[in-house]
A and B are shown apart, each in its own frame.
Chain A
Amino acid sequence: MIRLAGILIGLVFTFVVLLAFVVGAYTAATEGMGEETAEHAFHLDPEHVEFAHDGLFPSWDLQQLQRGYQVYKEVCSACHSMNHVAFRNLEELGYTEEEVKAEAASWVVPGIDPDTGENSTRPGLPTDYFPSPYPNDVAAAAANNNAIPPDLSLMTKARHHGPAYVYSLLTGYQEPSAELAEEFPDSLPGPGLYHNPYFANLNLAMAPPLTADGQVTYADGTDASIDQMAQDVAAFLTWTAEPSLVDRKRTGWPVMGFLLFATILAWLAKKQIWAGLKPRKD
């Protein structure tokens, strides 16, 4: 009885799903498999970039992270917040406590006037988090052609191939190709938009932020080419997204070593215990 009911139910589901298949296949045969889209044809995967923190034996390139921080501070922070990172975290980039205090004080953060209780501003302290450039999302949208600049703290974890994506996006601005203009005129950037093949829908509201070599004057004297600045800020944003990344992988090795040793011991123990059993037992 159960088997009969089962067979009937099974045939019903099979029939309905195959009916959907036939309808889908008929549509595909008569109307094609859906239109080719500009995103599909012209979107590019991020370029490969190498960083010191890549791979199984990583380390932070502190010089690079400091340069990346400088790019964030002087370029990105005009529009993008970084609200999961505090000034005190900068000590991990190799700055001393005094340097961090001075750095924090060079930022203006929201505060309350101690005499009147009115909203005001004050110099930052190491315990403060990086301030947002806009008081709220409405102000952010109003200042940026209705596109709210996303928070950058987690950016490299919030996109596929994070650091490579950030680097490629920053260096990938270009004029739309002639083929794109010919095949998908609707996908050309509208007013206030910029073409970038590394962006999901090819057009983004962010104007090219890195426009000229030497836009930032690096404290360590490194030549600030656009490529260099993009790599540095991508490295910096990898750190902001996961400050524990290097610690994590370095912790992993002793753990794996211990487990490997324990597993080998467990294997030998298992072998020894079962050895007495393998030949005839009786």
Chain B
Amino acid sequence: MSFPWAKQYEPTNPVMKFMDEKLPLPRLVYNAVGAGYPVPRNLSYMWNFGVLAGFCLVLQIVTGVVLAMHYAANSGVAFDSIEHIMRDVNWGWAIRYAHANGASAFFAVIYLHIFRGFYYSSYKAPREMIWLLGVVIYLLMMATGFMGYVLPWGQMSFWGAKVITGLFGAIPVVGEPLQVWLLGGYAPDNAALNRFFSLHFMLPFVIAGVVILHIWALHIPGSSNPTGVEVKSESDTVPFHPYYTAKDGFGLGVFLLIYCAFLFFMPNALGHPDNYIPANPLSTPAHIVPEWYYWPFYAILRAFTFDFILPAKLWGVLAMFAAILVWFFLPWLDKSPVRSGNYRPLFRKFFWVLVADMALLFYLGGAPAEEPYVMISQIATAYYFLHFLVILPLLSSFERPDPLPFSITEAVLGSDDKAALKDGAGSAA
């Protein structure tokens, strides 16, 4: 499970010795995020976002549990109970804004974490399981975030719920009964609000469970690194503590500065004003938009406007789900033996096109469903699918990767004594 040179946990304090014999929890922590976990010495700041995502999950659970003490999940009073939190609960405004902006922060961090994975091909063997679990976490987050946005029971809550659950109605034959079953009625109402609250409270703990599996799976091969070359010897690694606890501590500080700037100075910048209007089934908002973190997939959903054999709406729903499900297959779609984008010149270019494409889809998902936005989103959607399903599988056949360093040590220090040995052996043969 770990490299042979990993430090061993040797408690000297009698209490810790007692603990270690009966329930080796300190040992688990020591080996997971302490000195007992050797980590490549060359991790960049792009490797901070896993810890930050874990922090966001804890933040959301803590603020969420407190909010649940004051919130009432009933369509008659939900909106008013949010205003009660904002006005009458001590520090209620801070807790609610911390939770609402915490969701945005969580997604921002997760997107950076995922794109780190794309660039350095973190999904490749031997880390497929870490990646698969990560995509599961992301899907759970999307479900949790969606249901959380419904709880204030504002206009966007209501109409967002209606549009998103309406997607299930596009499924042939079972679609409509399924939608009615999910909502507990023909339109979002008290039944839907109540079950969304129940699920919104429960799912974060499921996420926490999958996060444990994600970290467990990570500790089997160990962390990846910017060269994509696997750890070969002790000089390639440093103990997680104190090296990466210190680096993550600094990253956490920067993250908190940005997060608090939103929380205290522009807490509604990422929300929609319409959600301060109570839900009204008789009045449709001019533009129904989900929260910003769903925009790329919302743009893909709306890009399918033409009935080709199947209805356009069904194409949109299929494409939206496919756009995320395709991530599950990345370990087998991308066959290049080189992991890091640093050594794949052609891949690197396409990666940045994908980043630009995603940024464009972000923008288009929040824009109204009119021309020219729809036409641009169709081109952007086409590239999205081409990138993952056509370009990535074919790329390794054409690409000539740059030479890799022998080891992490060589990449960091310019030379590695063991590499010289290898070269000598090579020339002798």
Contact = CB atoms under 8 A, between A and B. Distances in A.
B333 interface: yes
The dominant DSSP class at the B interface is helix
Contact of B390 (A10, A56, A162, A255): A10
B372 interface: yes
A263 B332 CA distance: 41
B385 A14 contact: yes
B382 A17 contact: yes
B306 interface: yes
B273 interface: yes
A6 B417 CA distance: 43
Interface string B252-293: 111011001101110110000110110000000010000000
Nearest to A89: B87
B257 A256 contact: yes
Contacts of A185: none
A255 B260 contact: yes
Contacts of B417: 282
Contacts of B83: 84, 153-154
A75 B331 CA distance: 66
**How extensive is the interface on chain A, given as a class?**
35 or more
Contacts of B80: 84
B273 A263 contact: no
A217 B52 CA distance: 56
Contact of A23 (B264, B306, B389, B413): B306
A243 B84 CA distance: 12
B333 A3 contact: yes
Interface in B369-388: 370-372, 374-375, 378-379, 381-382, 385-386, 388
Contacts of A9: 322, 389
B155 to A, nearest CB: 9
A170 to B, nearest CB: 18
B389 A10 contact: yes
A142 interface: no
Given A2-B333, A13-B322, A157-B276, A251 B246 contact: no
Interface string A263-276: 10011011001100
Interface stretch (B103-111, B126-134, B235-243): B235-243
A180 interface: no
B256 to A, nearest CB: 5
A53 interface: no
B315 interface: yes
Interface of A: 2-3, 6-7, 9-11, 13-14, 16-21, 23-25, 28, 33-34, 56, 84, 89, 150, 153-154, 157-160, 162, 200, 241-244, 248-249, 251-252, 255-256, 259-260, 262-263, 266-267, 269-270, 273-274, 277, 280-282
22 contacts: A6-B389, A7-B390, A7-B393, A10-B386, A10-B390, A20-B303, A28-B375, A153-B83, A154-B277, A200-B286, A242-B86, A244-B86, A252-B264, A260-B257, A263-B257, A269-B246, A269-B249, A269-B250, A270-B246, A273-B243, A274-B243, A277-B238
Interface of B: 41, 80, 83, 86-87, 93-94, 97, 235, 238, 242-243, 246-247, 249-250, 252-254, 256-257, 260-261, 263-265, 267-268, 273-274, 276-277, 286, 303-306, 308, 312, 315, 318-319, 322, 326, 329, 332-333, 335, 370-372, 374-375, 378-379, 381-382, 385-386, 388-390, 393-394, 409, 413, 417
